[in-house]
């Protein structure tokens, strides 16, 4: 992690934001998922990060509106991703044969329903469709719907992948890499060196370029040098469906 | 009036013996609404005044702070009543005035999961931090791995506000010889912070002991580093000189409020507008009238007097008024550059797949935004309203908004209207004031008591208390009348019905305006004759308030005035009686209960009179 070079300033503040900001994205380094500290504020304690065990049998269920336990989340993922209604040739962001998991949340629909419903949102990079798997944990059933052109926020996993696609494109990333070097010194070689936000990009009347993102899954990113400023990322998006960098205006 | 009440009391006493009363409660005793969460996920809070709230909270990966099954219990009620099925931020639409960027921070980034911020205790100094889970799922080479952790991310804080109310009984020349009713109010808020690119957003919802809910979005963090290339009309120069113009932009926070007022299947939306009407005695009248929003609609205010409420016509408070919640906007700026942000309010019927105001992410819905939701349901009757509330803010950046930007807040509230027959905070000493008290208020009693004018003597039943002489038009004319007089055919006036009056001592031939006080209501004008005498018939307005009042006649030229004490009653005696909030089987039993209630009150009063004697 990167810390503010100016430790004397901290004493003047009611509390300290270490690193001058927040590093929000998960980083996958060498295939291992490292979750950086989200906020450096003092006094708050996060739990340790635990790998969630695979759960294929219905665990003890919480009340319908409770947040998900680890076991519930894992069981919902199991039901959603093994649903036979999903396309057989479904692929994830790296092209491998598995659905891309975007989010897992207790549903906000029908709040007085007694059964425990979970929305598992998946993306299929083969068909470029978003699948919303409404999982009934109580009944162990899945009711799915899907649509092209619906682009939920990218998962941290996808942002990480998009960053790698971007960095691997020497031409497209030249400007950002040069700016990083001038601000922070050294070479930009990993997402772990930055605070990163990633958003779903859909073109609208105000954008020039990126029309392919009407259908493709595209990500726009903001980079912040911890302890420094933001880098200019306004001129490109990453098309994850094609694993290419697209210039936009 | 007093005679009637006394007679009623006797009849009620007779009826008490052996009466079998069948009271079938309606909304007063509906089953408590469900609340399907437990442990830390359930927030329950009871305030000092007896008002209680309960709800479930979660932090959704996209919607952020999500409140569900929001129920309120008014003081004295046995169970909770549903207010909202759910509430969350359904879009944060951020267009830049340079025309170069539009962000959708909820549907493109999300306010939860990796963008939810860990809060330090220094950010929640008087509140309690609650843990929220974050999860990361990654898939590489066909293998999916999920990791989870929890962070302290929700701050639940007790709040207070001075001057919730104040009412001081004060005598001339004294400041402390009568009761002072004053109180601070209580509340609590739930808040998270989410970081989306440059901005850090606080989502905060506050609940008060008077039943109100306030929805706040606070923006801090940094102004966009990518948007320093505006000009003098699309931005504001920050930093030295005129080199960097930070682009002005919008934070269009569109909240989604799913109403479930008192669990009613039938809810309606009303819009109220006010306009000046005909000339009154002093100023023009102003009329405020409702329009039912019968179908799903996108709504913008006609002017700054327009307001809306969601009402449950079949859920009546103890006064017989339909329970409702109205919207209160301290100011919302409406971005006209996109159809989705032109409405201040959009109302649709609940449709499960319509989850976001724009760029809807639920694939089960073909429609993507509020404009399309309305267009495809415009022929439906609006009975199950979801409100999409546009709380917009146009941010013209200041030098002071540089890092870290001072938090700017944008908010709106929903406030109960007729949820209870009086304020949820009404102190005992004011509890007897419901409508026109029609008499003297004894606030030293707890609960307080209204004592009407002393009754006429009734020799057969009331030997002990001798009333003071019956009311005379005794108070002297207020306006320097030189012997002007006023006499009425009857001092008991009935709304909408005519009455005769006569008088004298006015200037010859002048117009004499007749008004009902204390809130002046014009009754009419008569012309004095050649010797300043007055005689004629006027009609009491149907809107005259019930109870004891003063009728005043004022000469337009001479300024001479005369008064008479009157009592106003409704067109039919029963019409003014209160609905007790239940359905009572059988007309005669209804009458009996009313007799009982009135009789009981009168007995209490007599007992008290005896104590004082």
Residue of chain A whose alpha carbon sits nearest to that of B65: A108
Chain B CB within 8 Å of residue A137 CB: no
Strand pairing partners for B250?
B394
**Segment A14-38 mean pLDDT:** 35
Nearest alpha carbon to residue B588 among B21, B191, B160? B21
Determine which of A11, A24, A149, A180 to mutate to test the interface with B (most B C-beta atoms within 10 Å).
Answer: A24
How far is residue B360's CA from residue B388's CA, in Å, rounded to a whole number? 13
Higher confidence at residue B175 or residue B354?
B354
Is B120 part of any domain? yes
- Tokens representing A142 are 């899945």
Residue of chain B whose alpha carbon sits nearest to that of A92: B139
For strands B492-494 and B561-569, give the pairing: parallel
How far is residue B202's CA from residue B216's CA, in Å, rounded to a whole number? 8
Residue B3: band (very low, low, confident or very high) from pLDDT cuts 50, 70, 90: very low
Number of domains in chain B: 1
Chain B CB within 8 Å of residue A5 CB: no
How many residues appear in chain A?
249
SS (H, E, C) B57-91: EEEECCCEEEEEEEEEECCCCCCCEEEEEEEEEEE
pLDDT above 70 for A237: yes
Q: What mean pLDDT value characterizes chain B?
A: 84
Count of CB atoms situated within 10 Å of the CB of B177:
9
pLDDT above 50 for B144: yes
Q: What mean pLDDT value characterizes chain A?
A: 84
Which range marks the domain in which residue B107 is found? 37-134+148-267+295-417
How far is residue B136's CA from residue A206's CA, in Å, rounded to a whole number? 33
Residue B525 contacts residue B515 (beta carbons within 8 Å): no
CATH code of the domain covering residue B100 = 2.70.98.20
Count of CB atoms situated within 10 Å of the CB of B62:
29
Residue B92 contacts residue B252 (beta carbons within 8 Å): yes
Is B142 part of any domain? no
Give pLDDT tens digits for A133-146: 999 999 999 999 99
Count of CB atoms situated within 10 Å of the CB of B330:
11
Give pLDDT tens digits for A84-141: 999 999 999 999 999 999 999 999 999 999 999 999 999 999 999 999 999 999 999 9
Share of chain A above pLDDT 70, in %: 82
pLDDT above 60 for A232: yes
Which backbone phi and psi does B480 adopt, to 5 degrees?
65, 35
Which backbone phi and psi does A212 adopt, to 5 degrees?
-60, -20
Is B530 part of any domain? no
Determine which of B250, B341, B361, B386 to mutate to test the interface with A (most A C-beta atoms within 10 Å).
Answer: B361
Give pLDDT tens digits for A199-220: 999 987 667 788 999 999 999 9
pLDDT above 80 for B42: yes
Residue B611: band (very low, low, confident or very high) from pLDDT cuts 50, 70, 90: very low
Give pLDDT tens digits for B554-590: 888 887 888 888 888 876 433 333 333 222 333 334 4
| pLDDT score recorded for residue A25 | 37
CA A179 to chain centre: 25
- In the three-class reduction of DSSP (H, G, I as helix; E, B as strand; rest coil), residue B503 is classed as strand
Fold designation for A70-148: Nuclear Transport Factor 2; Chain: A, (3.10.450)
- Tokens representing B237 are 């120069």
**Segment B23-28 mean pLDDT:** 40
Q: Where are the domains of chain A?
A: 70-148, 156-247
Share of chain B above pLDDT 90, in %: 59
Is B69 part of any domain? yes
Residue A8: band (very low, low, confident or very high) from pLDDT cuts 50, 70, 90: very low
Asked whether the beta carbons of residue A152 and residue B361 sit closer than 8 angstroms, the reply is: yes
Minimum mean pLDDT among B75-89, B315-329, B560-574: which range? B560-574
pLDDT above 60 for B467: no
Size of interface A-B (CB pairs under 8 A): 247
| pLDDT score recorded for residue B506 | 83
Provide the greatest CA pair distance for chain A. Answer: 59
Which DSSP string corresponds to B198-232? TEEEEEEEEEETTS-EEEEEEEEE---TT--B--T
- In the three-class reduction of DSSP (H, G, I as helix; E, B as strand; rest coil), residue A192 is classed as helix
Give pLDDT tens digits for B256-294: 999 999 999 999 999 999 999 999 999 999 999 999 999
**Segment B205-210 mean pLDDT:** 98
**Which letter does DSSP use for residue B469 in this model?**
P
- Between B587-612 and B2-16, two packed helices, what is the crossing angle to 10 degrees? 110
Asked whether the beta carbons of residue B69 and residue A65 sit closer than 8 angstroms, the reply is: yes
Non-local CB neighbours of B556 within 8 Å, separated by 6+ positions: B510, B511, B512, B513
Is B467 part of any domain? no
Residue B513: band (very low, low, confident or very high) from pLDDT cuts 50, 70, 90: confident
| pLDDT score recorded for residue B459 | 53
């Amino acid at each position: 992690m990167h810390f503010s070079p100016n430790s004397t300033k901290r004493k003047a503040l009611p509390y300290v934001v270490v690193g001058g900001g927040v590093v929000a994205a998960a980083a996958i380094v060498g295939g291992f998922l490292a979750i950086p500290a989200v906020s450096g504020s003092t006094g708050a304690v996060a739990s340790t990060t635990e790998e969630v065990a695979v759960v294929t049998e219905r665990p003890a269920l919480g009340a319908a509106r409770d947040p998900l336990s680890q076991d519930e989340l894992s069981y919902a993922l199991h039901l959603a991703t093994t649903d036979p209604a999903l396309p057989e040739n479904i692929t994830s962001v790296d092209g491998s044969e598995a659905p891309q998991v975007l989010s897992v949340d207790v549903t906000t629909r029908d709040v007085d329903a007694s059964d425990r419903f979970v929305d598992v949102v998946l993306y299929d990079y083969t068909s470029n469709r978003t699948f919303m798997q409404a999982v009934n944990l109580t009944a162990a059933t899945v009711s799915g719907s899907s649509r092209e052109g619906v682009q939920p926020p990218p998962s941290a996993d996808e942002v990480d992948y998009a960053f790698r696609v971007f960095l691997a494109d020497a031409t497209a990333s030249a400007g950002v890499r040069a700016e990083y070097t001038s601000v922070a010194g050294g070479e930009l070689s990993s997402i772990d060196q930055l605070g990163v936000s990633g958003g779903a990009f859909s073109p609208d009347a105000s954008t020039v370029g990126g029309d392919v993102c009407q259908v493709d899954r595209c990500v726009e990113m903001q980079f912040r040098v911890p302890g420094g400023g933001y880098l200019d990322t306004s001129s490109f998006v990453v098309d994850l469906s094609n694993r290419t960098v697209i210039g936009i205006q | 009036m007093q005679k009637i009440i006394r007679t009623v009391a006797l009849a009620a006493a007779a009826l008490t013996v052996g009466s079998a009363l069948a009271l079938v409660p309606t909304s007063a005793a509906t089953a408590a609404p469900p609340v399907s969460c437990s442990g830390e996920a359930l927030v329950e809070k009871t305030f000092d005044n007896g008002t209680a709230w309960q709800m479930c909270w979660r932090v959704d990966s996209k919607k952020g702070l999500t409140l569900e099954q929001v129920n309120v219990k008014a003081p004295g009620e046995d169970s909770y009543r549903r207010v909202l099925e759910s509430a969350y931020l359904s879009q944060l639409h951020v267009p830049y005035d340079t025309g170069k960027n539009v962000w959708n921070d909820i549907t493109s980034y999300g306010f939860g999961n990796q963008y939810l911020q860990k809060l330090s205790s220094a950010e929640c100094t008087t509140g309690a931090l609650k843990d929220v889970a974050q999860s990361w799922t990654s898939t590489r080479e066909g293998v999916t791995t999920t990791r989870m952790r929890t962070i302290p991310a929700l701050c639940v804080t007790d709040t207070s506000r001075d001057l919730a109310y104040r009412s001081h009984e004060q005598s001339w020349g004294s400041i402390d010889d009568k009761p002072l009713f004053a109180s601070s109010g209580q509340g609590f808020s739930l808040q998270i912070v989410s970081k989306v690119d440059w901005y850090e957003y606080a989502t905060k919802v506050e609940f008060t002991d008077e039943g109100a809910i306030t929805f706040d979005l606070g923006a801090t963090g940094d102004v966009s580093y990518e948007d320093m290339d505006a000009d003098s009309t699309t931005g504001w120069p920050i930093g030295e000189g005129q080199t960097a113009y930070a682009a002005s932009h919008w934070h269009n926070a569109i909240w989604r409020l799913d109403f479930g007022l008192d669990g009613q299947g039938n809810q309606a939306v009303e819009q109220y507008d006010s306009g000046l009407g005909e000339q009154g005695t002093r100023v023009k009248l102003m009329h405020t009238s409702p329009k039912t929003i019968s179908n799903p609609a996108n709504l913008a205010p006609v002017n700054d007097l327009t307001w809306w409420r969601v009402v449950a016509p079949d859920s009546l408070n103890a006064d017989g008024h339909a329970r409702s919640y109205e919207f209160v906007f301290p100011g919302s700026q409406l971005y006209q550059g996109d159809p989705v942000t032109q409405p201040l309010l959009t109302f649709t019927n609940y449709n499960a797949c319509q989850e976001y105001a724009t760029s809807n992410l639920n694939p089960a819905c073909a429609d993507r935004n509020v404009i399309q939701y309305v267009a495809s349901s415009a022929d439906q009757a609006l009975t199950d309203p979801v409100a999409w509330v546009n709380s917009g803010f146009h941010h013209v950046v200041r030098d002071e908004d540089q890092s870290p930007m001072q938090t700017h807040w944008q908010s709106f509230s929903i406030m109960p209207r007729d949820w209870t027959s009086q304020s949820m905070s009404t102190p005992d000493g004011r509890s007897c004031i419901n409508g026109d008290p029609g008499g003297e208020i004894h606030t030293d009693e707890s609960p307080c008591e209204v004592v009407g004018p002393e009754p006429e003597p009734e020799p057969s039943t009331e030997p002990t208390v001798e009333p003071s002489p019956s009311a005379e038009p005794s108070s002297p004319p207020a306006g320097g009348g030189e012997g002007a007089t006023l006499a009425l055919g009857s001092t008991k006036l009935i709304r909408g019905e005519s009455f005769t009056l006569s008088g004298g001592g006015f200037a010859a031939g002048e117009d004499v305006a007749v008004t009902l006080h204390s809130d002046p209501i014009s009754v009419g004008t008569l012309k004095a004759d050649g010797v300043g005498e007055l005689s004629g018939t006027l009609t009491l307005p149907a809107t005259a308030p019930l109870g004891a009042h003063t009728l005043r006649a004022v000469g337009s030229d001479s300024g001479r005035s005369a008064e008479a004490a009157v009592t106003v009653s409704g067109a039919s005696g029963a019409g003014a009686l209160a609905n007790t909030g239940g359905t009572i089987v059988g007309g005669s039993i209804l009458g009996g209960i009313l007799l009982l209630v009135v009789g009981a009150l009168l007995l209490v009063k007599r007992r008290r009179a005896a104590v004082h004697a």
